[in-house]
Amino acid sequence: MGSIVFDTYEFNKTLREAGFDEKQAEALTRAQTKSIEQMHKDADYVSRTEMKTDINDLRKDMHSLETGLRKDMQTMEERITANLHRAMMLQTFAIAGLVIAVVKFMS
């Protein structure tokens, strides 16, 4: 988990140089420090290890999806090929039947 570095001395010094009196600079420095601490406390930090784990999980999910899609595409290709072969067989039988009918009609 990362941390936020806030130099209270430098912040206070900057305020005093800008014209704030000591009491105002101290009050603003304390308020700013509390604000940063609260923001840091409320932040949802992700460690490098957690991020690597999430990325690896995502890669596994993507690989699984890719594998599934490839299998689905192969199945579809096989079904299309089978349907095409069936259609060609039906067409061949239809043409053969038509040729037989024409030959009988002409004899």
Is the overall model pTM greater than 0.85, yes or no? no
The count of C-alpha atoms lying within 13 angstroms of the C-alpha of 103, restricted to the half-sphere facing its C-beta, is 6
Give domain limits for the chain: 1-43
The count of C-alpha atoms lying within 13 angstroms of the C-alpha of 56, restricted to the half-sphere facing its C-beta, is 6
Tens of pLDDT, residue by residue over 33-83, are: 999 888 877 777 777 888 999 999 999 999 999 999 999 999 999 999 999
